[in-house]
């Protein structure tokens, strides 16, 4: 086994384990910490693909912004205690059955569909440097790029309105 394969299995094990622990742990703060670890290991996968810009953006957006948002919300609601009542037994059993069925079915499908797995393309052409990504983004995807900025602006205004509304009603 090559070193890259070992790195991949190590990162994949961290990703799956922390994703599972995110759901399994009772304390929401612990869930958030495990989610950060999961996002960092996914950024490691991106680095393995040599997609540096995507890895850095992933760390900034997910591990930085989104996790700060999650942690602030958890602390705002004072949820860092483990008093969650579990769902009824039948619902939990159903969730576990659905999980097992979906994973078995999907993995079996992908094991049995090896039709597209030919040789890998190694043209040696640069396709994922920041220069190339910026060219593609601003030449072919200019309109979606501008719409993304509108979406973020609308989301920001909406969040401010949603959060301020209660205060105005109380007056």
Partner 1 sequence: MNNILNEIGIENYIFLSVLLFCIGVFGVLYRRNAIIVFMSIEIMLNAVNLLFVAFSTYHQDAEGQVFVFFSMAVAAAEVAVGLAILVSVFRNIGSIDIANLKNLKG
Six-digit token pair at 137?
A: 């983004």
- Distance in Å, CB of 147 to partner 1, minimum: 9
- Distance in Å, CB of 95 to partner 1, minimum: 4
DSSP assignment letter at 140: T
The contact pattern for partner 1, residues 41-60, with x = CB under 8 A and - = no contact, is -x--xx-xxxx--x--xx--
Stretch 77-136 residues interacting with partner 1 (CB under 8 A):
77, 79, 84-87, 91-92, 94-96, 98-99, 102-103, 106-107, 110-111, 114, 117, 120-128, 132-133, 136
Six-digit token pair at 128?
A: 């994922």
Instruction: Report CA-CA distances (Å) from 162 to 68, 155, 157, 158.
Output: 19, 10, 9, 6
Q: How many angstroms separate the CA atoms of 22 and 30, rounded?
A: 7
Q: How many angstroms separate the CA atoms of 79 and 28, rounded?
A: 7
- Distance in Å, CB of 158 to partner 1, minimum: 6
Residue 156 or 171: which CB sits closer to partner 1? Answer: 156
Distance in angstroms between the alpha carbons of the first and the last residue of the chain: 67
Stretch 10-39 residues interacting with partner 1 (CB under 8 A):
12, 15-16, 19-20, 22-23, 28, 31-32, 35, 38-39
Q: How many angstroms separate the CA atoms of 154 and 148, rounded?
A: 10
Question: Could you say whether residue 151 binds partner 1 (CB under 8 A)?
Answer: yes
- Distance in Å, CB of 6 to partner 1, minimum: 10
């Amino acid at each position: 086994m090559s070193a890259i394969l070992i790195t991949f299995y190590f990162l994949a094990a961290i990703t799956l384990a922390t994703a599972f622990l995110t759901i399994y742990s009772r304390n929401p703060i612990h869930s958030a910490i495990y989610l950060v670890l999961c996002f960092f290991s996914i950024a490691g996968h991106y680095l393995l693909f040599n997609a540096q810009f995507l890895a850095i953006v992933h760390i900034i957006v997910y591990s930085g912004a989104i996790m700060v948002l999650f942690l602030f919300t958890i602390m705002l609601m004072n949820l860092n205690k483990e008093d969650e009542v579990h769902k009824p037994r039948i619902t939990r059993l159903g969730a576990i059955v659905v999980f097992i069925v979906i994973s078995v079915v999907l993995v079996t499908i992908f094991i049995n569909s090896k039709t597209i797995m030919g040789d890998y393309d190694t043209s040696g052409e640069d396709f994922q440097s920041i220069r190339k990504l910026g060219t593609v983004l601003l030449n072919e995807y200019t309109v979606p790029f501008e719409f993304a900025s509108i979406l973020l602006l609308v989301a920001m205004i909406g969040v401010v309105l949603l959060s301020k509304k209660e205060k105005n009603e109380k007056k």
